[in-house]
Amino acid sequence: MTTPIHPETRIGHMHLKVADLERAIGFYSGVLGFELQQRYGAQAAFLSAGGYHHHIGLNTWESRGGNRPAPGTTGLYHTAFLYPDRASLADALRRVVQAGVPIEGAADHGVSEAIYLSDPDGNGIEIYRDRPEAEWPRGADGALTMVNAPLDLQALLAEAP
């Protein structure tokens, strides 16, 4: 049997190849609200929430002017950004809507509420919040019973600060 990974292990950061650095910074900073921490000239930038060195690395080292991945190819399905509470998720949704970014989907998964969109390079993004673990739906055997129910975006927007 394989030894399980330590339960406090987390994804620390991601690096994305982007076609246009300024456009990508505009999306991740201007729309989603991440703070620019550092730039490496016109080729790379590092952004974070709360002053961390970086949660997101953006670079054009191998992708300046590149195309979006073609449908039917492999790659990252989406990156998920976890917000601490429903009001914070509502605020993020408000910024996305105000920026005119298309919402590609939204779901109440029982354990979480999630909204799906894409960045300017076609990378999938999920913005979501978890419900408290005590509220997660479970079957009689205690196993999670996640669902894919509709999420009322208008009700969520009404909670934006």
Q: How far apart are CA 144 and CA 161, in angstroms?
A: 31
Domain annotation for the chain: domains and CATH numbers? 12-64 (3.10.180.10), 77-161 (3.10.180.10)
Place of tokens 């989603």: 32
| pLDDT confidence of residue 3 | 87
| pLDDT tens digits for range 80-117 | 999 999 999 999 999 999 999 999 999 999 999 999 99
Residues 36, 47: contact at Cβ < 8 Å?
yes
pLDDT at residue 19, rounded to an integer:
97
Rounded Cα distance between 161 and 87, Å, is: 7
Give pLDDT < 70 ranges for the chain.
none
Terminal Cα distance for the chain, rounded = 48
Residue 76 has a pLDDT of 87
CA 76 to chain centre: 12
